[in-house]
Structure 1
């Protein structure tokens, strides 16, 4: 085994080690918004060994003046949501003048190069699945943040209702594969350009994985009673969800109906 491969494997092992350690800090995942993601990233920064931290810095910065670390990287995937597709098919990063506070966590990525990276990422991952939570086409990359496994399940399995090839667990697997120099597992429809992009995804997704309402859904019948979709009910395909993280924006999650 070459020295390069050994170093790469050691770095990834250290990196994945902090992912598991994050689970020991529930308070870090209980916060909503960018603050929670920054806390998760900050814990990761503290847990990394010096050599692994140096590798993370090398991957994330590329000479960027902001000195991006995992704490600053945590909100990146939410910043990407500011990328919109226009009717002419072009993509643009758009700042909402009525919500300039949304840009606070995105400041480390406001250079032309980093904005271009976000636009490019959103464009590559926009149409890889059909996602119309409110009747309008949204970028497929928005589905990477959650997985709708029923709360009755204590484990995760791809056979469960609510999983799909572009959910949160699949996105984590895809990002790890890129960091391991492996192909993204089929049939996961992710386009991850390089290891920096993979690390930006992972820094955010591990936070999502431990936040409430991101992994686990309540399924209701038409009378509002909880049901287990894996036992006696099927999900109404017309009632797509947008993930529990949207509740913070005042969006109601549609009902799931049993099969007729």
Structure 2
């Protein structure tokens, strides 16, 4: 599947708040933009370009803002807990909402919050553009299984010292959370010999009409429960589906093959659902 010894991609030791790394988020944004109607796409681009027209207006570019400019600014320190939620089992919307309020917010509260700002007639254009940048990022976050991972290991962050041939550089290791954030996408790009945009185009082309129809709908609670189930059934396990991944393990080609289709599905679902959410928000704007 992959020439694991040929291309070595430097490992990224991601903190818990990062998801999909930049390329994964760009892929979600690109898929979403490809699923927007021309009218909504024009409104989104105009909002992201701003009054000075300097931005490129793309959802792909907007998708990484929350992990870079926002993360580097003390002004947005409040949003750190909004990138993830830890779930140890099925949780009702009421229970999850209460849990999020206890820790100054989480993904379950962030997505509807920024969606409300984006549709608000009282919000300024700058506030709506900021909300859109957060929203495109957080919808992507919600679909990374370990962003709804277990509390005890901080969504896989504490399962560390992992070696991934073809991803971790010689002498470097990573953790399970970061493996899902970055390795599965990076290895897919290496295998195919393409960049993130070509990969996004291919993923979008592979989504059939039935899948699109099934994926549209649901709420942030549904999406997070999906991620929690994927994490429990796949993300924490080796290829046999029984043995837990433990600190110090090596995740090889069989691990990639077992999990790459799930990663592709979650990226695709995030893009399709983001597009549907933006269509609903901008319908009357």
Which TM-score band (shorter chain)? 0.3 to 0.5
Structure with the higher strand share, 1 or 2: 1
The structure richer in helix per residue is 2
Question: Which one scores higher on RCO, CA 8 angstroms, separation ≥ 6?
Answer: 2
